[in-house]
Chain A
Amino acid sequence: MNKPNKVLILGSGALKIGEAGEFDYSGSQALKALKEEGIRTILINPNIATVQTSDNIADDVYFLPVTPYFVEEVIKKEKPDGILVAFGGQTALNCAVALFRGGVFEKYNVKVLGTPVQSIIDTEDRDIFKEKLEQIGVLSARSVAVTTMEDALAAAEKIGFPIIVRAAFALGGLGSGFANNMDELRTLAQKSFTTSDQILVEESLKGWKEVEYEVVRDQYDNCITVCNMENFDPIGIHTGESIVVAPSQTLSNREYHKLRSIGIKTIRHLGIVGECNIQYALDPVSEDYRVIEVNARLSRSSALASKATGYPLAFVAAKLSLGYSLSELKNSVTQTTSAFFEPALDYVVVKLPRWDLGKFEGVNRQIGSAMKSVGEVMAIGKSFEEAIQKGLRMLDTGKRGFVANKPEQVDTATIDKLLSEPNEERIFAINLAFEAGYTLDQVHDLTKIDHWFLQRLMTIFQLGNKLAEGRATGLAGLETQLLREAKKAGFSDQQIAVKLLGEGDVKADELLVRARRKALGVLPVIKQIDTLAAEFPAKTNYLYSTYHGTENDLAQETSKSIVVLGSGVYRIGSSVEFDWCGVNAVQTAAAEGYKTIIINYNPETVSTDYDVSDRLYFEELSFERVMDILDFEQPQGVILSTGGQIPNNLAMRLEEAQAPILGTTAAMIDQAENRHKFSSIMDELGIAQPRWKELTSLEAMHQFVQEVGFPVLIRPSYVLSGAAMNVVSNTFELENFLQTAKEVSAEYPVVVSEFIQDAKEIELDAVADKGEIVSYAISEHVEFAGVHSGDATMYYPPQKVYVRTVRKLKIIAEKIAKRYEISGPFNIQFLEKGGEIRVIECNIRASRSFPFVSKVSGRNLIQKATQVLLGKKVERDESERVYDLPFVGVKAPQFSFTRLPGADPVMRVDMVSTGEVGCLGDTAEEALLKSMLSVGYKIPQKTVLISGGPIKSKVALLSAVELLVKKGYQIYATQGTHRFFAENSIPSSQLFWPDEMVEPNVLTYLKEKKIDLVINIPKNLSKGELDNDYKIRRTAVDFGIPLLTNARLAKAFIQAFCKLELKDLKIKSWNEYKAM
């Protein structure tokens, strides 16, 4: 075998819809596989929050954009002899195709390891792909690839409606959709052409079963399918939007193996080496099928398949790309049997997507052929019922399972609509339909979901009713048999409590059920995932719990052990950064000599790799399940503070149940989380806060607003759907907002806070030991307060913060740490204006920015925090490197607005970004530019459109616009901005507002791509009506034009790209920065 010495690996950049944490997992596995071979690895990935960009995973890391320019520069500098392009999602794949076409690999003599780029192109170009399939007699959907609107319409004429439109070379089905007539097609095609030069007009297979296989092939033509998966939702809903079950449940042996054989034949013909995914449509009433697509790379599905089976697909794919044959590799679970095998499952896996559509104004909530979900969960059980109910709870959307949720009154017309035009609530609409007396056939007709799945849901529904029949006798009358049935069908103690005892004090009732259940001896058992269904002995530590069983596969961990709770489902506000925290906590605990146990259920994570901890429970992070596991394992301690909000929310209940929580006490955590308690403590400590009040009537609100003045920040107390946090600037907006908010009353109070404008936002991430800070990092937002900290661009170390401010912050932080007797990680957010400092909030847990500041500063805060939690004496850092650090880090948010049709692409008080990057530079400008290029911004070529918003932001932009003019940019502006520029002697061309319908119109210029960058500053702070500004912003996003909506950030960006050109951005690795 001719192994390379140095290999470059392309990451996938920031997390975005369609491309999320799964590539942290696959990249980390590939790096591990290469390291084992003694190969030097270089990683390019600007996503600083990932595990793969941590110390000691790759030999060196470049926090740079995964774009052809930067990758070529790194190749030029590093001279690797091999490159892996299949582990960084579509981003890496598209980049590799561009580099291949540009002859870059050839030029620098870099060998693409694994699947050849030509095979990738063969799968990505719809025409070539179809032709390839035809060569071997494999069927694909009748379709025509077109490059013009005219051809698209002609193709539809030929194929007949309904049809589906797909964009070539797009991740997660971007630019796809169904059209039932020419008009719909025209709209859809126009949009698709903005993301791709070529689109596909195709026969619609709506209602067919959707089935996928993960196929692995080595260079000796050995081929296996590691897992097949069946979508609960039939074709028409993107697989990333579908509930998916593994293995398939409703396919006969003939169907299963027919598709398997076709997959192998296809993958051999395409010449893939490594791993790929093949998707099929299968006729629900015959064995007719179509191949939909092949993804010649690791994918979301492959991450899922790896976790579902225990077969390490990414690891094996990396080894195969070096030239190994499958039979030369070992099954890493059994360590004795061969990697050339197909896992046999003795359990059922259900994946469910998590959406956050409620966070977006204007978004189309229907789910369909394009992906909108931001995360997913995987549930394991011995029946579909057990797994899906676990999964519905794992989504953390407040649901208790399929049944026993908060009652909803919905009429049948709405139910019909929810069933036939699904949104993210469809699964619950099925329950509503059952409650309304719909038959299985009726639900099937409206959803096309296979009867078998519906029948399983019906079983849950009926069991729920049976439990409710016992209302009269309550717990005392609950029979063991029925209780066991319910537990086997995935009912939580809480669900049983609600059904049996009614919707009372649910948490207290849950404890009663739990006690009764334990008394009756109805307990879950712990089972192993071993890839071979127990055929061979395996020393696997990959575990789940089930009520279908009588024996635990293993005994409790006898050495001293620590349980770390993971962060659960990725959603807006909590994603890969907390996985990094969890993994680091585990690694530290292991280094301190503990056996480590992880509880987490997110298949997109590294923490759920079974070789990260000594035991992995792929389980719910609910009070019930965590207690089950703690009861079983009896660990020395539980770490909650590295997993974000889900584990933090369990603190009180776990402590009440005598769980050995490490670090800050639950009571203290509660005193920080509870607004009232926190506020009075701040008063007690003499620390200023923005004024706020919890109000229960409209009069009280008006009165409070009079006191503090507009603008104010309003938070409805119960924010699961509907009106969320908002800032209002005047009485009109306030009234308007209150109309949309559900209600204001004693039962539903509203929190109103003073909103301080033009204030700097500063964050402190720190670790304390019994109230004494031992390490901290301060970072500064580019934007003024008002942009959620998760959407903000951030400097570390701070660039424009006075020394006196830092000193004051530190004093406040020390007071808070002492008062709360903090042991472990915490984060405080501050406002600074005119030298005055106010505290916004304090989170007694690790925060989103921990990996960023840890990596840039070179001080691993989680490592320190974990050592503190374990009772180890940690020395206080001698001096913060705030002012000595010879380089700057900038963290920038990644938005996924392109994937959310209709959503207003603007940053406000509620977080809407889906991911982030962090880049390093010798100067703040350099780091900022690198990070903004990493999240998809481009340095404009010639033209910038400015719509400057209120006068304040227009003024703020002035100096930057002068720079643009000096640089020779052509400035376009909307009316007011144009006038303002003219008054200030800045030349600009006026474009008319969208609703003026006069040329030259903004929309025309955007659609014709005559604008390279759009700066549109919203006129008010409110989640506005869908007006002119909205149209400009949305059109920019729909036509792929970079958009900035914050004046401070726009200014910083303009200053950066006017000062620095692409070639000025240093190609410097992390090690080089560290050595500075």
Chain B
Amino acid sequence: MKQVKLVLEDGTEIQGESFGAFTSAAGEVVFSTAMTGYPENLTDPSFAGQILVLTYPMVGNYGVPGEELYESISKIFESDKIHIAGLVVNYYSEEHSHWNAAKSLGDWLKEYNIPGIFGVDTRMLTKILREKGAMLGKIVAEEDVELHDPNQDNLVAQVSPTEVQHYGTGQHKIVLVDCGTKTNIIRCFLQRDVELIRVPWDYDFTTLDYDGLFLSNGPGDPKMCEPTIQHLQTALGQDKPIFGICLGSQLMGLAAGGDTFKLKYGHRSHNQPVLLTGTKRSYITSQNHGFAVDTDTLPAEWEMLFENLNDGTCEGIRHKTKPFFSTQFHPEAAGGPEDTEYLFDDFLKAVAEYKAAK
């Protein structure tokens, strides 16, 4: 077994054993408390540039499924590759068991040249990240690498597609602004009555003919997405329904005139409770974000739609009169709880109403 180490920017060094690719990598070290769903997590573009620490102690148990396509997108994964920079776990279960497993987690990481480290006291590591905030770090194999802050990069530009793609033949024409979308968002739309136009993050979608606008999730600091925000501001001047998820929610907040900030260590888990503002209705949600909308900065015509029950942060906003709303969490789940998938229906209902009124 080869030894590797995890080094944090505060000087912490943790020895562990290597799995996946035996190579060095740097990124922002973040933790997720999700107990299942590593194939989904690792391919989620929002994790681009991050070294992911999983607090669940045994990882790799059910292997990694083989790829299958659905309408030319992945049926299994959340994008077409692994996006994390590195993986940190307590126990790596090399021998896996599942009827649809095609390979082990380690072999899959190797395919994408991503290093993994196991035998780490992930609870101790999580406490460091919780107390000091998410920080830069690196997994070091043989050759050392420089620390690197992915939030300085335009990560969205890296993970967004370069061309417009069309899917489906439904009656509602939805533009999906892809800042690093999870494929399950696409699947959620295609299971409904939708024709989807997937456009790059900086594409001027205002020129397109569409019924509703969707803003995807994505990695990094939302303020990097200036062109998207500009196009969005135009859309906010119109009345076509808009729905944003995660980064999409932050972009909506920024375009509306509000501000965003970086959370100390973000929300990355499958158990985040959110309250539908002004009701007793709550939902368990899947989340993966390091930035959030600062509710206090929202203009008067906007309000908080969902609130995090743990720390009171903004979990979604909506326009008081127009059909614009967003969620900081992931209604499309994958992985995580599926309790809020109904929001896709709400959005499409708003689209139908808009079309009827027109």
Residues of A within 8 A of B (CB): 218, 220-224, 247-253, 256-257, 260-261, 264, 284-286, 325-328, 336-338, 340-348, 382-384, 450-452, 455, 525, 527, 532-537, 548-551, 553
Contacts and interface: CB of A to CB of B under 8 A. Distances in A.
Contacts of A553: 123, 127
Interface stretch (B153-161, B249-257, B267-275): B267-275
Interface stretch (B205-213, B223-231, B318-326, B334-342): B334-342
B99 interface: yes
A913 B33 CA distance: 45
A382 B119 CA distance: 11
B121 interface: yes
Given A452-B96, A533-B269, 15 more contacts: A221-B281, A251-B36, A257-B338, A261-B338, A336-B310, A341-B309, A383-B58, A451-B95, A452-B95, A533-B123, A535-B33, A535-B55, A535-B126, A549-B124, A551-B124
Contacts of A251: 36, 62
B358 interface: no
Interface residues of B, number: 54
B97 A455 contact: yes
B313 to A, nearest CB: 12
B273 A340 contact: yes
B66 to A, nearest CB: 13
B100 interface: yes
Interface string B316-358: 0000000000000000011111110000000000000000000
B336 to A, nearest CB: 7
A534 B62 contact: no
B273 A452 contact: no
B333 A247 contact: no
Q: Among the interface residues A337, A343, A533, A536, which one has the most CB atoms of the partner chain B within 10 A?
A: A533
Contacts of A328: 280
B57 A347 contact: yes
Nearest to B119: A548
Contacts of A325: 280, 282
Contact of A536 (B35, B93, B310, B339): B310
A420 to B, nearest CB: 20
Main secondary structure of the interface of A (DSSP, over half): loop
A343 B283 CA distance: 14
A214 to B, nearest CB: 14
Interface in B171-204: none
B126 A534 contact: yes
Given A257-B333, A285-B99, A455-B97, A348 B58 contact: yes
B260 interface: no
Contact of B273 (A341, A348, A383): A341
Contacts of A548: 57, 90-91, 119, 121
Given A338-B273, A382-B91, A534-B130, A344 B33 contact: yes
A483 B126 CA distance: 26
Contacts of B310: 336-338, 341, 536
B33 A382 contact: no
A256 B36 contact: yes
B7 interface: no
B37 interface: yes
A249 B338 contact: no
A325 B279 CA distance: 11
A342 B62 contact: no
B167 interface: no
30 contacts: A220-B281, A221-B281, A222-B280, A251-B62, A252-B65, A253-B335, A257-B335, A260-B338, A261-B337, A326-B282, A338-B282, A338-B309, A341-B271, A343-B271, A344-B33, A344-B34, A344-B56, A346-B33, A348-B58, A382-B57, A382-B58, A382-B90, A382-B91, A383-B90, A384-B58, A532-B33, A533-B33, A534-B130, A535-B126, A553-B127
B33 A383 contact: no
B97 A250 contact: yes
A345 B58 contact: no
A1049 B296 CA distance: 76
Contacts of B58: 249, 348, 382-384
A1029 B270 CA distance: 60
Interface string B43-64: 0000000000001111001100
Q: Among the interface residues A336, A455, A535, which one has the most CB atoms of the partner chain B within 10 A?
A: A535
B40 interface: yes
Nearest to B334: A253
Contacts of B62: 250-252, 452
